[in-house]
Amino acid sequence: MNFKHKYLFLLPGLLVLLAILIFPIGFTVRLSLSSWDSFYPALDFIGIENYVRLFTDDARFWEAFGRLSLLSVTTVFLQYVIGFGLALIVWKEIAFQRFFRVLFLIPMMTTPVIMTVIWRTFFHESLGPVNDILSHFNLAPLWLSSETLSKFTVMIVEVWQWTPFMFLLLLAGLLSLPKEPFLAASIDGAGPIRTFVYVTFPLMAPISIGAIIIRLIEASKIMDTVYVLTSGGPGTATETSSFYIFIKGLREFQFGYSAALSLTYLIIMIISFTIIAKILVKLMVRGN
């Protein structure tokens, strides 16, 4: 179908988006080549000095990046496994089916930072309910101020918040599957486990890949939760890339350097997502 006024439909949205985005992106590129900071707030030109510093003299950035990879891959994996499990359970007949479907969706509707404020009181080391219950077993874990455990706390909050999103995408997928393969499987006498391995999982592979990629993209941006829960601490134990760039740019006002960090981070993200998508397609589709 064609139509000479077709641009009337496309252009308003496209132009608005371009107009809002062209300056920020162009400006970030230019800024990354300058030494703009709070002492010398001007757009000078220092070549690729910022990038040299980033690659040779900034272990903290790469540590934050490693931590981000660990956090996002682990939480997305957990969200996928739990979300898929829950979706499978309420997909079939179960008591109070619709109640559980609504309940399992609720966390994704809540504002992450606000729930994190609640989680902070929940995991409070002396006044929170978790340690109150654990104190009966003579345990008092330092949920927010231990280097190892604070990462785990961030993961718990992330899994609580975003498993529903995975659940939603996967349940929507399950509900849209054709019925015939399942009929065929039951005629062949396949039990629930065999049906899952040979029918459900392969049919769900494309949806699974889509859902995992969407969640990985969102998880790679994590910083709100970290900011409220631990402020990146203790020390830098829960600092993620976004949070580190935020500190450099909007706390220490090293605009030039943080622009270089931003662009590097963005490019690494795009490359990793492309690679991860390829690997997932290989693993999940070709395997069957």
Residue numbers 62-81 binding another protein by CB under 8 A: none
| Closest approach of another protein to the CB of residue 32, in Å | 11
Give 112's contacts (C-beta < 8 A, 6+ positions apart).
161, 224, 225
**Cα–Cα distance between 221 and 163 in angstroms, integer?**
16
Instruction: Give the footprint of another protein on residues 159-178 (CB under 8 A).
Output: 160, 168-169, 171-173, 175-176
| Closest approach of another protein to the CB of residue 17, in Å | 6
| Closest approach of another protein to the CB of residue 124, in Å | 8
Counting Cα atoms < 13 Å in the Cβ hemisphere of 170 gives 33
Which of residues 141, 210, 233, 234 is near another protein by CB under 8 A? 210
* Residue 234 preceded by cis peptide, ω within 30: yes
Residue with tokens 């889509």: 210
Instruction: Give the footprint of another protein on residues 233-252 (CB under 8 A).
Output: 241-242, 245-246, 249-250
Q: Which is nearer to another protein, 59 or 175 (CB)?
A: 175
Which of residues 149, 269, 277, 284 is near another protein by CB under 8 A? 269
| Closest approach of another protein to the CB of residue 66, in Å | 17
| Contact mark string toward another protein, 23..62, x via CB under 8 A | xxx-xx--x-------------------------------
Q: Site size for another protein, by CB under 8 A?
A: 92
Q: Which is nearer to another protein, 41 or 70 (CB)?
A: 41
| Closest approach of another protein to the CB of residue 245, in Å | 5
Which of residues 65, 80, 162, 255 is near another protein by CB under 8 A? 255
| Closest approach of another protein to the CB of residue 266, in Å | 6
Q: Compute how many other C-beta atoms are within 10 angstroms of the C-beta atom of residue 91.
A: 17
Instruction: Give the footprint of another protein on residues 92-151 (CB under 8 A).
Output: 94-95, 98, 100-115, 117-122, 126-129, 131-132
Which of residues 40, 44, 70, 85 is near another protein by CB under 8 A? 85
Q: Compute how many other C-beta atoms are within 10 angstroms of the C-beta atom of residue 204.
A: 20
Residue with tokens 């132009």: 15
| Closest approach of another protein to the CB of residue 117, in Å | 5
**Cα–Cα distance between 91 and 145 in angstroms, integer?**
40
What distance lies between CA 33 and its chain's CA centroid? 29
Angstrom distances, CA of residue 120 to CA of 126, 151, 154, 266: 12, 13, 10, 30
Instruction: Give the footprint of another protein on residues 175-204 (CB under 8 A).
Output: 175-176, 192
Which of residues 5, 136, 179, 251 is near another protein by CB under 8 A? 5
| Closest approach of another protein to the CB of residue 286, in Å | 21
Q: Which two tokens stand for residue 37?
A: 């900071």
Task: With H, G, I as helix, E, B as strand and everything else as coil, classify residue 74.
Answer: helix
Taking a C-beta distance cutoff of 8 angstroms, is the pair 159, 79 a contact?
Answer: yes
CA 129-130-136 angle, to 5 degrees, is 95
Task: With H, G, I as helix, E, B as strand and everything else as coil, classify residue 231.
Answer: coil
**Cα–Cα distance between 276 and 288 in angstroms, integer?**
19
Taking a C-beta distance cutoff of 8 angstroms, is the pair 120, 229 a contact?
Answer: yes
Q: Which stretch binds another protein (CB under 8 A): 17-25, 56-64, 143-151, 182-190?
A: 17-25
